[in-house]
Structure 1
Amino acid sequence: MKSDHDHGHSAAIEIEDTTAVSKGKAPLLPSSSAPARYGSNEKGLAILDSIVRVCAAVAALASAGAMGNSDQTLPFFTQFFRFQASYDDITTFQFFVIGMAIVGGYLFLSLPFSIVCIARPRAIGPRFLLVVLDTVALTLATASGAAAAAIVYLAHNGNPSANWFAICQQFGDFCKNASGAVVGSFVSVVLIVALVVLSAVAIKRI
């Protein structure tokens, strides 16, 4: 009788110890919903990246197209001179058109990598490639927009010290298209900055 009582008592103690250990370890186990929550957040960043990328590409190509259509001929002319202003008369504007066209084309070509990031939100390779190439595109877009902005400023205001006259009073349509193109380029620059930030945040979360 004594041995049976001791055996039952020890069994009860073992059950209590097991329950106590399991209760102590339960809070340390990760929640099953945590990985899904992190994955959904990273997928949301990838979707936002694709949307911003399309908007930046449209802004870049629209600015290149607007500058490429900057061409105006005045209605009066002489026997020897025709008063005309065109973007290809200014090397800076040519650089702008080429640079923004390259940026817009790159942004569209990079969309498959952004889609890969949606399908595989924890893949770090495509993210790292995008952040590097986006930084290069940001540099080109900023250089193109800043250079063109300086010429547009001179077209509007001139420079009396250098005897450079403002031409926008005569070539209003030309200056309007060029100014709109510069504004579009800076919109693209802001959106590309957002792309770099999104990629950096996504890499940090991975």
Structure 2
Amino acid sequence: MKLALFDCDGTLVDSQNVIFEAMTRAFARGDLPLPPREAVLGIVGLSLVEAMRQLGGDDPAFPADEMAERYRNAFRELRAEPGFAEPMFPGVRTVIDRLAAREDVLLGIATGKSQRGVAAVLSHHGLEGRFVTIQTADDAPSKPHPGMVLQAMQATGARPADTILVGDTSFDMVMARAAGARAVGVTWGYHARDRLHQSGAERLIDDAGDLLAAMDELWGGALERA
């Protein structure tokens, strides 16, 4: 059985505006200077406390736990506001539908979001029940630790060679390769092509329409680096 694991933010859904606004509110409430937008989006995918540590420059005095809670509160506020949106990227829904229809493929998620956050995304897009394993920052160490992928493989019985992680950040690529799984980088997310390549992506995808063919290539071939 093959396992197709997907990151969420930056891979399935475009949440950059919501993430930046929630971070803006969190830093304002902490009376701290907001990092540049590029820096904020560069940590998407990490667990929230680890993301805050990095935005704080790994300063031990930086209140990462408190800032993570401020961010959670801000995100919940935004989710309740009119116009809240985490749209799926073009073509991604078709990929999910086609993979879900296959008898030889199981679907999973590996994300820095919380279980609550993932549930909200899946509910909004009508994707409940599509993913047989959902690994989040609630359940495993932060990316790029391989724990999420290892737990997903254990839960589904998939072998590393039959597991592909699709993600948009270097954290995803490193996590997948550390778990012995395959790694596909998508370029519509938050990290640049070169960074994905250097982190171990075996394929780089610019258009969701090319994703299925790339995955089938990897499932049929030997482990390699892009």
TM, length-normalised to structure 1: 0.26
Structure 1 or 2: larger helix share? 1
Structure 1 or 2: larger strand share? 2
Considering Cα pairs closer than 8 Å and 6+ residues apart, tell me whether 1 or 2 has the greater RCO. Answer: 1
Which of the pair has more CA radius of gyration?
1
TM, length-normalised to structure 2: 0.25
